[in-house]
Amino acid sequence: AFIQSELDRRKPGLNKFATARKEGDKVQILSGVFEGISTGTPIAMVIFNENQKSGDYEAIKELFRPGHADFTYFHKYGHRDYRGGGRSSARETAARVAAGAIAKLLLSSLHVKVQSGICAIGGIEAHSYDFERVAKSEIYALDASVEEAQKAKILEAKNAHDSIGGVALVQILGAPKGLGEPLYYKLDALLADAMMGINGVKGVEIGEGFHAATLKGSQNNDAITPEGFKSNNSGGILGGISNGDTITCKVYFKPTP
């Protein structure tokens, strides 16, 4: 039930601000679970595409689509299945959400919480972050004061047969100190690797991220007190290792091609 609730959050076609593709995103567990409890064996799940229309791609049989991976896939593998993006499709994230739901269940038993929301769309940025309201927003907006402007920006592009990009803010609360390795298994590198693995993501920030390059050391340093860090410009990670503070990550998505 929890896995399905997570898939329902990413389901396309829910409103006029999302892709028009209609998918049930119904998960079926094939193995590894019995009577609602994991058995300890690998958990296999399947989510069938219900809105596939291969014929829609006939017109681009001899064309590479700008902004898609058709060109690079063809030149890497030497042949091409033109009936959609396959692994380069945003549809691929459904599998990540299903597996991520299981990870969330495990993390919750360790009192680790992951929360996220949209902090910018088309250059319109949130001024404050309210994760409690995200589930009530049609676009998962973190800031009610700019949500209508962000929606208008989406519809403006949509009505012009165009699209815009946006930024998601991800926070991890309750992560213990000491996660990650000093060199080849840095926690921030792993997070960036996972986020960049999502099709459409073109940039990742940890903590102050790109803005840190404009600051002085005295501004960027997180002063240490007996009660903890005074600020969190590091995004909860120092030297590739978690410092016990909230891990903060911003994920930048390009416009839909």
Average of per-residue pLDDT across 146-170: 96
pLDDT at 26 over 90: yes
Q: How confident is the model at residue 122 (pLDDT cuts 50, 70, 90)?
A: very high
Average of per-residue pLDDT across 167-178: 98
pLDDT-wise least confident of 89-93, 182-186, 214-218: 89-93
Select from 65, 58, 30 the least CA-distant residue to 46: 30
Backbone angles phi, psi at 101, to 5 degrees: -65, -40
Instruction: Give the model's pLDDT for residue 81.
Output: 82
pLDDT at 150 over 80: yes
Select from 198, 201, 197, 190 the least CA-distant residue to 255: 201
Instruction: Give the model's pLDDT for residue 54.
Output: 64
% of the chain residues with pLDDT over 70: 97
pLDDT at 12 over 80: no
pLDDT digits (tens, 9 = 90+) for 34-77: 998 999 999 999 999 876 666 677 888 888 888 889 899 999 99
Counting every residue, how long is the chain?
Answer: 257
Rounded distance, CA 192 to CA 181, Å? 15
Residue 7: Cβ within 10 Å count: 20
Backbone angles phi, psi at 181, to 5 degrees: -120, 160
Backbone angles phi, psi at 118, to 5 degrees: -90, 125
Rounded distance, CA 74 to CA 57, Å? 16
Entry pTM: 0.92
Rounded distance, CA 194 to CA 50, Å? 27
pLDDT at 14 over 80: no
C-alpha Rg value of the chain to the nearest Å: 20
Average of per-residue pLDDT across 78-87: 82
139 neighbors 150 (Cβ within 8 angstroms): yes
